[in-house]
Chains A and B, each alone.
Chain A
Amino acid sequence: MTQEIRVTNYPQVLTDRPTHYCPGCHHGTAHRLVAEALTDLGLVDNTILVGSIGCSVFIYNYLSLDAIESPHGRAPAVATGIKRARPDKIVFTYQGDGDLASIGMAEIMHCANRGENVTTIFVNNTVYGMTGGQMAPTTLVGQKTTTCPGGRCKERAGMAIRMTEIIASLGGVAYAERVAVNNIKNIKKAQKAVRKAFDYQVQGLGFSFVEVLATCPTNWRMTPQAANTRIETEMIPYFPLGVYKDVKAQEDK
């Protein structure tokens, strides 16, 4: 007797609905990582999701969690309120780079500095994806976007902001890591990072932050394959992957 085993096991919290994302967009992969982490830790029934503005806003359609939609960039402030009112709930924000690193810079900095016991998943694709690919704070020098058609100019617009390094330097942060999802090896590391971030929140260690380097093939004017290569050749050298803060690892030393 032979028996067929299903290897792929999509978490139930992922709704059975086609995503609105463009072909090759990494938001779908990032959603799955969050869903897998919540399912593995058994947190699905106890989690509140705080959405942001941008393409990532529609995460509430794709994860069957209790969700609240925050004003542009204010997801960490909304999450702070929810967590303080209901400390028994697991609260996380899912934000893009236009939302978190630009208009929401103050909120994320102070939320991290206060050490609010929430988790932030930060998807960095170096452009404002939803509104048509304008220059974001994380746009790399020389990268062409609709608002810097000649490439980002260092003298006028400055360098790209490295958020994970900034967040890791703040007082209340328990965990800060940058991951990518452009190949299998990086996806496996990202899985562990997202799970650890939620685990730290369960343990009440403080603010946890995971930056996911993602592609935006449409606004980068590239095929999904070329976009994946760009992550490897252009983004990772400027945004190095790795753990920037881990309070537990520091204690162990």
Chain B
Amino acid sequence: MPSRVEFREDRCKGCLLCIEACPTGIIQQSNRFNQKGYKVVEITPEMMAECKGCAFCAMICPDYVINVFKTASEKGGAA
């Protein structure tokens, strides 16, 4: 089931705790810097398909950077 993860990059401090918490290991550090000069984390579009939507990354993030979205199936339940 497709899930989507959004990073508020301006808030990321590059602590990389989410990388350790992710059970599928799809989060990685990007080469982009944010306004504060931290290297932000990202999930590449190809890797996003593997996201299970567990939101462990959002739970461990101390700076409330991460939002996780799940797409419900046609029948309404989260398949």
Contact B59 A187 (CB under 8 A): yes
A183, B70: Cβ atoms closer than 8 Å: no
Chain B proximity mask over A202-226: 1 for CB below 8 Å, otherwise 0: 0000000000000001000001110
Q: Which of B15, B61, B66, B78 contacts A5 (CB 8 A)?
A: B78
Shortest A75–chain B CB gap in Å is 22
**CB of A55 closer than 8 Å to a CB of B:** no
Closest to B56 in A: A184
Secondary structure of the B contact surface, majority rule: mixed
A7 to B59, Cβ gap below 8 A? Answer: no
* A-B contacts, CB under 8 A, total: 79
Q: Mark A1-45, 1 if CB is under 8 A from B, else 0.
A: 111111110100010001101111111110010000000000000
Cα–Cα distance between A24 and B16 once the two chains are bound (Å): 8
Q: Are A183 and B63 in contact (CB under 8 A)?
A: no
Q: Give CA–CA (A224, B14) in the complex, Å.
A: 10
Quick one: which of B15, B20, B59, B60 contacts A23, CB cutoff 8 A? B15
Most buried by B among A2, A22, A23, A217: A23
Q: Which of B10-58 contact A (CB under 8 A)?
A: 10-11, 13-17, 20-21, 38, 53, 55-56, 58
B4 to A, closest residue via Cβ: A4
Whether the Cβ atoms of B66 and A8 lie closer than 8 Å is yes
Knowing A5-B78, A24-B17 are in contact, say whether A19-B71 is a contact too (CB < 8 A): no
- Tell me, yes or no, whether A228 is within 8 Å of chain B by CB: yes
**CA distance in complex: A223, B58 (Å):** 19
Q: How far, in angstroms, from A213 to B75 measured CA to CA in the complex? A: 43
CB distance from B63 to the nearest CB of A (A): 5
Whether A7 lies near B53 (C-beta < 8 A) is yes
CA distance A8 to B54 in the complex (A): 10
Q: Is the CB of B74 within 8 A of A184?
A: no
Instruction: List residues of chain A with CB within 8 A of the CB of B63.
Output: 18-19, 21, 28
Q: Are A2 and B72 in contact (CB under 8 A)?
A: yes
Contact of A4 among B11, B56, B64, B71 (CB under 8 A): B71
The 20 listed contacts between A and B (C-beta, < 8 Å) are A1-B74, A2-B74, A7-B69, A8-B58, A8-B66, A18-B10, A19-B63, A22-B13, A23-B13, A23-B14, A24-B17, A27-B62, A28-B63, A28-B64, A29-B62, A184-B60, A187-B60, A224-B16, A224-B17, A228-B20
